Amino acid sequence: MKSCAIVGINWGDEGKGRMVDLLCRDYDIVVRFQGGGNAGHTVVNEKGSFALHLLPSGIFHEGVVNILGNGVALDPENLWNEIRELREKGIPVTPDNLKISERASLLLPWHRDLDIFEEKRLKDRKYGSTKQGIAPFYSDKYQKKTILAGELLRDGLKDRLLSLMEWKNLTLCGVYGAEPYTWDRLEEWLNRCCSPIMPFICDTQQYLEQAEESGKSMLMEAQLGALRDLDFGIYPYTTSSNTTAAYAPIGAGLPGLKLGEVIGVVKAYSTCVGEGPFVCELFGEEAERLREAGSEYGAKTGRARRVGPIDLVATKYGVKVQGATMLALTKLDILSTMESIPVCVRYRLNGAEMDRFPFPSDLSEAEPVYIRVPGWNCDISRIRRYQDLPQAARDYVELIEESVGCPIRYISVGAERESIIFR
Ligand code: GDP
């Protein structure tokens, strides 16, 4: 089966959505394999500008089948809102172009409450949760204390939910002093949010096995980036799932699949949402200018993103962790007004310089070592051939490529689908 994963190399928001939107016309199936509605892809195409949270970015393409795999945090409430929004803007979302894995675990209403209570309790020690319930959801998934989407279609649902509710009320009331959940409240949620998504739930594993046998192709889409991976990221400031390509076949529903291409998406500078160490962070006016130029505000929360120069130490690590076979460099146009561009080439830690990404809790001590390279100082957003880029822009691309040891095959110079250079 021709397969490809599109994954983030950095902290997320690299522009994965636009790459999936661009490339999915060459694939039959697009699958989201992890994460929930806590982040957002922004996709700009001929139908408008859309912020997607849970739906795969292939949803805009006729003939593409989109799947929410077993690895996602399936939040019926957010999903149903998102489906309705797209339908209102004239995008068809039907059981023919969207399929939900019956093995996807459900984010239950109390997961969001627990997220909010916990961040409140932590006060200034918080992890920067988007309060969508993702961490409580994944911990309950691993404790086997939630339900699978397929259970919505089967007998025994009420008993299962009542026993989970009883167990969860112990924490909600005992630890946080909150109101207990009641069956009435759960029933209201089932009717309002779960019933409408039931027609989309099916055995996607079997669907994918048949697709594999008939030679169909599959694109797997990740949320966030390598540095937010639960196992390989900046723990505890990670997300609660695996954002790495190696998890894609598992979370998508074809655990035996050997991945073909892995396209790592890298932004031409660094951004980071929320808490955690961010070695190359810029502050003050310089940061403000970069943030404004790149419109670096979260797609889900509107939060101002932290910004900084490209970090080659973190990027090289991200490329390795993702097993990227090629890279897409995005938002190169945003750097077009800079006289010279800082590039972080090493970290200084404990008196020594290093280019290996450090252990998470050592990161707060690391300092960036910068070089400055010449800027190009002109608009590049209409350029479509690599050789037409100014020399300084090509040098910048090639410096990144050489430093991280992976070819850059795509360079995006604008948010629109066609603002891309194939190399
Ligand atoms: P994702 O979650 O990785 O898909 O990233 P986001 O959607 O959060 O962030 C990418 C943002 O940058 C979106 O608003 C895109 O429309 C925009 N974008 C993507 N590529 C480019 C580019 O090359 N140039 C410009 N100016 N904007 C871009």
CATH number at residue 53: 3.40.440.10
Structure tokens at 246: 């190696």
Pocket flag, ligand 1, residue 267 (CB < 6 Å): no
50: DSSP letter: E
- 80 shares its domain with 205: yes
Task: Give yes or no: residues 279 and 401 share one domain.
Answer: yes
Ligand 1 mutation pick, 269, 330, 381, 396, max ligand atoms within 8 A of CB: 330
Distance CA 178, CA 353 (A): 50
CB 176 within 8 A of CB 112: no
Q: What is the mean pLDDT of residues 367-388?
A: 97
Q: How far is the CA of 18 from the centre of ligand 1 (A)?
A: 7
Confidence at residue 401, expressed as pLDDT on a 0 to 100 scale: 98
Structure tokens, 265:
């998406």
Q: What is the pLDDT of residues 111-143, one digit of tens each?
A: 999 988 887 777 666 566 667 899 999 999 999
Please indicate, yes or no, whether residues 287 and 399 belong to a single structural domain of this protein.
yes
Q: What is the rounded distance in angstroms from the CA atom of residue 267 to the CA atom of residue 408?
A: 12
**Cβ(228) – ligand 1 distance below 6 Å:** no
Find out whether the beta carbon of 53 lies less than 6 Å from any atom of ligand 1. no
Residue 336 beta carbon below 6 angstroms from any ligand 1 atom: no
Pair (56, 140) in one structural domain:
no
Closest CA to 349 of 334, 328, 333, 364: 364
What is the share, in percent, of the chain residues with pLDDT greater than 70?
97
Both structure tokens of 309: 């120069």
Going by DSSP bridges, is the β-strand pair 3-8/261-267 parallel, antiparallel, or unpaired?
parallel
**Which pairing describes strands 218-225 and 261-267: parallel, antiparallel, or unpaired?**
unpaired
Counting ligand 1 atoms within 8 A of each CB, the residue from 44, 331, 382, 411 with the most, and so the one to mutate, is 331
Q: What is the mean pLDDT of residues 159-167?
A: 97
Q: How far apart are CA 288 and CA 29, in angstroms?
A: 39
Tell me: do 253 and 271 sit in the same domain. no
The answer on 221 and 118 residing in a single domain is no
Number of folded domains that form the chain: 3
Peptide bond preceding 180 in cis form (omega within 30 of 0): no
Q: Which of 213, 230, 263 is the last residue of a domain?
A: 263
Q: Answer yes or no: is the C-beta of 296 below 6 A from any ligand 1 atom.
A: no
Among 23, 42, 411, which is best to mutate for testing ligand 1, by the most ligand atoms less than 8 A from CB? 42
Whether residues 111 and 77 fall in one domain = no
pLDDT digits (tens, 9 = 90+) for 190-228: 999 999 999 999 999 999 999 999 999 999 999 999 999
Boundary of a domain, candidates 263, 285, 309? 263
Query: What range does the domain containing 12 cover?
Result: 3-103+200-263
pLDDT band at 44 (very low <50, low <70, confident <90, very high): confident
Q: What is the mean pLDDT of residues 382-399?
A: 98
Paired tokens of 249: 């076949």
CA-nearest residue for atom 26, ligand 1, is 414
- Are both 276 and 352 inside the same structural domain? yes
Query: Which secondary-structure segment (H or E) carries 347?
Result: strand 340-349
Give the integer Cα–Cα distance in Å for 213 and 201. Answer: 22
Residues 252 and 346 in one domain: no
| Same domain assignment for residues 290 and 165 | no
Rounded to whole angstroms, what are the CA distances from 32 to 47, 131, 222, 269?
A: 21, 21, 6, 25
Find the CATH number of the domain harbouring 192: 1.10.300.10
How much distance in Å is there from the Cα of 280 to the middle of ligand 1?
20
How many A from CA of 13 to the centre of ligand 1?
A: 7
CATH of the domain at 374: 3.90.170.10
3-state SS class at 89: coil
Please check whether residues 289 and 381 belong to one and the same domain.
yes
Atom of ligand 1 nearest to the CA of 294: 26
From CA 219, how far away is CA 326, in angstroms rounded?
A: 15
Helix locations, 104-154, DSSP H: 109-122, 134-142
Look up residue 393 and give its two tokens: 């822009």
Ligand 1 centroid to 47 CA: how many Å?
16
Same domain, 153 and 221: no
Whether the full predicted model's pTM is greater than 0.95, yes or no, is: no
Pick the last residue of a domain from 220, 244, 263.
Answer: 263
Determine the atom of ligand 1 nearest the C-alpha atom of 299.
Answer: 8
Cβ(44) – ligand 1 distance below 6 Å: yes
Report the separation in Å between the CA atom of 147 and the middle of ligand 1, taken as the mean of its atom positions: 34
Q: What is the pLDDT of residue 299?
A: 66
Where in the sequence numbering do the catalytic residues fall? Answer: 13, 41
**In this predicted structure, which of 18-32, 117-131, 182-196, 379-393 has the lowest mean pLDDT?**
117-131
